[in-house]
Structure 1
């Protein structure tokens, strides 16, 4: 028995050594696995960071601005900066196409402003529908204009409100520049044709400035997205139809367009997070409707790039 003792001790020592080695390996593997799991978790929940510049449509600007501010206060996106600028749809599309902006905000399809090549590089994210209406100074004395009356005003054939049932007052046109998607939409669906800038008319880059000028200028007429309307201006019916959400959704009121947020190719992760945020149910049912836009999901009709309406 004593002779076997050294052998037994040596065997036990070997067993304990192997056990310790295995335990160490297990611990090491567990630690590596834990780190991997932890890293994966951190990767999944890591805060996104970066800067986003969205440029273009002033009709869409109030929505992008308000949602951008909310987005930046969310803990998940606190390291993302969102900057919103106007300038018109043409400017937004040109800048996103040229790489100067991350997002090009537009009231029109890219094909309407850009050549086929640059337009084909852009990805369309339709975030809302905007309706537009002619607006007049409240003292003009009208609340409805037909398509022909509107066209006569914006082509200079009618120059006094009394000729369309209003006050005896000279008409002052407040227009948007040719780069404006709001102008393109208004001309296409309200007037039925493009128009030239008339002598004596006023041209402004911003929808906000248009509203201010129409409100303060006797005899003024312009056009605005529903998101800009308030009691300072008179929204005019179009062929007797009010520019209401219900009428737009049902296809009864024709002067509307999709609001596009274009990216050049697939958006970067932090830009995609912002676009997903705008398209979330919460934002669509709160901010979109609150600001006078219409969720795309509520539309009972659709419109293609040529302007054709389908059910």
Structure 2
């Protein structure tokens, strides 16, 4: 996999981001990728201009200390020299737009950012959601694992029934990406796909027509089998072989995807954020927003081929 050769790590410069930086640096070193840090801050209020230099120096010093800590925690054979990692700083309003413009201008192919702190460590704040909606570059929103040891569990959500070629192509890309990441930084891969028969509740609870339960079950089994068969076809087409375990889930995506993440200790969820890429009807609308606001893991989100960002350089 040749993607991810030019990685941009976005920091606010205020927190201890050494753990997230360590994961990002490990990925960059494994792929021998270019790696740059951008400190993006909202700027100081009007009238505080005289403190700008001191404030930005403090952000730079903290970030460089985090880089040093992260590098020292890495195996010696892949440990980078933190002094040689470019660190830039940019302040002002419209932070998401500024970040996306920098990623586009620098021809980055991956944007990594620690997820904004949120009560309950679930869902994403406004800045992160704007990046997910508008960035043409894949966005990795990283959450700290709290010193977790053992298997790094990657899950990828795909929809084999996408009606559009772009959606199917993205599904193939997601499978390829997740399998490649699992071989580089993970050691457990789950392939997740949801199936749901929209008329199931209506058939069971229709007061005008009584459909025998046996007939309903037969219909559901046929729907499930057809969906699973198509999923196997998508996986075969992707060429990843038996790289991951298949989890064929019955239910609404906004319920079953976050539940799967929680119950199976998923560290990184790989999915699409535009078009039908993991779940029926999966666009950046109600379904996607509901899923993302319930997810507790880190997230790597991709756009389908041909996506045009509203942000221009």
TM-score normalised by L of structure 1? 0.25
Normalising by structure 2, what TM-score?
0.25
Which structure has the greater CA radius of gyration?
Answer: 1
